[in-house]
Each structure stands twice: as structure tokens, then as C-alpha cells.
Chains A and B, each alone.
Chain A
Amino acid sequence: MKTICRIGVGGPVGSGKTALIEELVPRLVQRHLKVLVVTGDAVSTEDADHVRRALKGILAEDRIAGVPAAVRRDAVEDLESRFPDTDVVLIENGAADFVVHVIDVAAGDRIPRKNGPGISRSDILVVNKTDLAPYVDADLGVMAADAAVQRGGKPVVFTNCRTGFGIPELTERILEGALFDVGVRV
């Protein structure tokens, strides 16, 4: 049986994980990939509801699940078994084959230097909300340089989910890094 690629989208609360998933899914669907989403709601169904609304007409509602962290792995397996022809499942804060770690500019430009497993070990580091940089005196150049030091050459992508900036590059990085054997379908 084909193994469905699990892509984790991790990072601090409010860094833009859900928004990023909402931006990524249409681009993956555009590449003819069959997608599932498991959002990381802690105590509500707010995220899953938001994703369902945002992806209306792009991804069927029943391909999106919202579950608390404790049962996330079960939810992923359940969703995968209901849609076995899936290519990729995007999982907020969950166990995965490939990890995209999302931080945001407004948390301060010293975040990459402070390091942490998400900063150094993730397959792709996303620095989100680049539009806020001038308002919080964040130097994107410093963030890029510090991240490069911690990550030994692994990709860092700057994004702004409000304008879509950086999302095409992120999509390409995910396709080449994780979906290398399924991303070629046209």
C-alpha cells in the first residue's frame, strides 16, 4: 500500500500555522495532489472551522479534521484510512515525515539565534508575517543569517500569508523535499 506523506506544520501559537496551511492547500491541489488536513485545535474547533471556510470549493469539508493534540495520531490514521488515495496530509503540530516550522517576525528577530529543535532540525523554517518587520524593528537579514548558521544550509523561506508572498517558493521546497515521488503528476 502506498504511504501517504505526512507533513507537519509546527511552531508557536499565533505564528500563522493555520493561515499557512490555508495558503498551501490550493497550490498543492493545483498540482493535482490529493490533500488532507488535520488542524491543531487545543480546546475548540475554531481552526478546523476556519480552514473549512477558507478552503470552500477547493477541499471537501470531510477531508479536514480538527482534533486536540492527544488524539492527533489516531485522527491522522483515521482520515488516511477513509481517503487511501491521498498524496499528502498536512498536520498541525503532529508527528510527520517532513516538518515545516513556522515562526513570525513579530516575535522578535532574535528567535533564530535563540535556537531550539524547531529552528535547527525542521526540514523547512518559515519566517512568517514579513509585512510586520518595520513595525517591530525586526531585521529580516539578521534572521536569515542566524537561521543559516543554526540550520547548516537547510531551507529558510520568508512568507506573508496576507499577500501570498513566499508561498510559491515554499510550495516548491515542499514538493522537492517531501513530495519528490508524487509531485510530478500533471
Chain B
Amino acid sequence: MLVEQIRGNLADGAWRPANTDVLRLDQWEAQKRRLRKLTDGGVDIALSLDRGTRLRDGDVLWADEGGDSIIVARLEFGEVMLVDLPRRDADGALRAAVELGHAIGDQHWPAVVKGGQVLVPVTLDREVMDSVMRSHAFTGISHRFVPGTDVIAYLAPQDADRLWGTR
């Protein structure tokens, strides 16, 4: 089934479907405009959206005439690493930012600065990321892991694209 337009979102409150089939997309797939994947019910969805369109959790991809049967996109986000930098003095802050940037770039990890913190998506394995961060033994830099759903609401579309888009 070719889907070229989003029909609405479950949060609109306008939908009272009797049957809901779900297309599950992870954080990487959710950034794509073009994608082919099976729904839970086995429907082959070929997504071809305009470049400006961004999928949101609960987007209705297909609905029958009365809206009784619908196919909904469910976005599933993994963890994000939040990094705090020291800010006591300008030199220390600059050194920490450069050292962290160098380490992150060395790993080819994408990153976004938001609300005074650096956000890095957990690409493969949290333990590996944690170990990389600890092995650098940064001074004054701390990190923790939070669910992606905790930060997605605060992210601008270009931030989400930078974190999870195909670059």
C-alpha cells in the first residue's frame, strides 16, 4: 500500500476506529521520508512523503471510508545520552567542550546542544558508550542516559534529524 500523505493524528480526537493496525518505526526509521515496512497485521506499507513532512507518533497513514479501520504509525525511541559540561570558568568550559567534541567526533556520534546540555543518541549499545565516555576520564563532564521519549518533545525537527537522521 502506497502512503503519500498523513491523514491525521490519533491525538486529533477525530478518530474512533474499530480496527487499528500499527506500523512500528524506530527512531531511525521515523526520520525517513521513504520507507517500506510491514505493519503488525502484515500490510506492506510503502511510505513516500514530501521532504518537509515529519512523522509523529499516532499519525494515521491510512483509513477506510468511515474511519472504522485505520493504520497508525507508532514511533519507538531508544535512549539518549545527556552530557553536562562544567561552566565555572570560561577556559574550563572551552576545554571541556573541545575535548568532548573531539571524543564524540572520533566515534562519529551525532550530537545536538540543547538547554545547556549535549544530547547524543545511543547508537548501538549503552555499555559501549558509557565505557568510551569513562575511558576519556574528562574533568568536570558528567553523563547519564534517559529515554528518547523524554527529550523528543523538546527537539526541533532539525535536531531530531541531526540525532537520528541518515547522515
Contacts and interface: CB of A to CB of B under 8 A. Distances in A.
B148 interface: no
Contact of A115 (B2, B34, B124): B124
A124 to B, nearest CB: 12
Interface stretch (A20-28, A37-45, A48-56, A173-181): A173-181
A-side interface size class: 20 to 34
A117 B49 CA distance: 24
Interface string B58-71: 00000000000000
A117 B107 CA distance: 11
A16 interface: no
A146 B51 CA distance: 34
B33 A97 contact: yes
Given A3-B50, A181-B2, A95 B166 contact: yes
B98 to A, nearest CB: 19
Contacts of A96: 166
B165 A98 contact: no
Interface in B22-42: 28, 32-36
A180 B2 contact: yes
B36 A176 contact: yes
Contacts of B20: none
Interface of A: 1, 3, 5, 8, 94-99, 115-117, 120-121, 176-178, 180-181
Nearest to A150: B124
A97 B166 contact: yes
B36 A97 contact: no
B46 interface: yes
Contact of A178 (B28, B34, B49): B34
Given A116-B124, A120-B124, 20 more contacts: A1-B50, A3-B48, A3-B49, A3-B50, A3-B51, A5-B34, A8-B166, A94-B167, A95-B166, A97-B32, A97-B33, A97-B166, A98-B32, A98-B34, A117-B123, A117-B124, A178-B36, A180-B36, A180-B48, A181-B4
A96 B33 CA distance: 9
Contacts of B36: 176-178, 180
A178 B2 CA distance: 12
A179 B4 CA distance: 13
A8 B36 CA distance: 16
Contacts of A99: 166
Nearest to B50: A3
Nearest to B125: A115
A94 B167 CA distance: 6
Nearest to A177: B36
B95 to A, nearest CB: 25
Q: Which 8 A-B pairs have the closest CB atoms?
A: A97-B34, A180-B46, A95-B167, A99-B166, A3-B51, A181-B48, A117-B123, A96-B166
A18 to B, nearest CB: 19
B33 A3 contact: yes
A142 to B, nearest CB: 20
